[in-house]
Structure 1
Amino acid sequence: MLIPAVAFITLGKCSCCWNESLMMCGSVLAAIIGLLGSGYCFVISGLALVQGPHCFTSHGWSYPFADQRGRYLLQPEIWPLCLQPLNIVEWNVTLLFVLLGLAVLEFIICLLQLGNGLVNAICRPCCYKQEYSLNA
């Protein structure tokens, strides 16, 4: 999310050196980068959530829930299989659900920005050609 945010802020402050259509193209490009980043975050967080945490068990360091395809999420009674670090399953589940939620939020915001940028880039040249003058 850092790259699109910096691009949006830079585009907003640099109106003196870019014309409006170039700013809209930059806004659309930043929104596309944000969409790709949020999709990547969503997929990686989902895969990590399904696999489960890497922890120390009675058999050594491993992924004890990797073969359960995410069913461990609904079975908190088996979470104590992870002996070390303490509460790693709760930490892992909380962190990855927060990342999934933020990825969805980022996707929605960037999708709205993409739509806004495309509408402005397409409609602005033809709809706002009128010139106004104040004659008093």
Structure 2
Amino acid sequence: MSALGVVGALFCMIISALGLRDGPLCKTSSNSSFEYPFFNQTQTESYLFNQTSWAECIWPENVVLWNITLFSILLTLGTAQTLLCLFQILNGLFGCLCGTCMRKRQTGVA
């Protein structure tokens, strides 16, 4: 089950990273339809570090900040989940191979 947890956490991390890279889906002008205004930007032009470019998204309000906050939290939680599941896998593996590593006590019962 921990291996399945690692797979799910990695999926969450990949989706979150892509969500941060591509930016939010928003309306950029009053006549336009919804689009990804920050899609295919280079790292030097990234909207993540340029708050003045966030004004491109007119509606919904503060969608860029929401997008960054949500996917950053999901990326952090996915990383923590991956580490915890990997530690659980290692713990189970060592527990299986090494056993309890305690000698059986001999009782003097006859």
Query: TM-score over 0.5 for the alignment?
Result: yes
Per-residue deviation, 1:129: 6.0
Task: Say whether 1:101 aligns with 2:76.
Answer: yes
**Hey, what's the Cα distance between the residues in 2 that align with 1:31 and 1:93?**
28
**Superposition misfits of 4+ residues, deviation over 3 angstroms:** none
Residue in 2 aligned with 1:36? 7
Greater percentage in helix: 1
8 A Cα contact 1:50 1:69, kept in partner: no
**Hey, what's the Cα distance between the residues in 2 that align with 1:54 and 1:75?**
17
**Hey, what's the Cα distance between the residues in 2 that align with 1:133 and 1:123?**
23
TM-score of the pair, normalised by structure 2 = 0.87
Q: Which has the higher contact order (CA 8 A, sep 6+)?
A: 2
Residue in 1 aligned with 2:104? 130
Alignment of 1:59-70 (within 5 A): 59-69=32-42
RMSD: 1.7
TM-score of the pair, normalised by structure 1 = 0.71
**Hey, what's the Cα distance between the residues in 2 that align with 1:92 and 1:120?**
41
The count of aligned residue pairs is: 105
**Hey, what's the Cα distance between the residues in 1 that align with 2:42 and 2:106?**
64
- Structure 1 stretches lacking a partner, 5+ long: 1-29
Per-residue deviation, 1:113: 0.5
8 A Cα contact 1:49 1:96, kept in partner: yes
Percentage identity across paired residues of the two chains: 36
Per-residue deviation, 1:128: 4.4
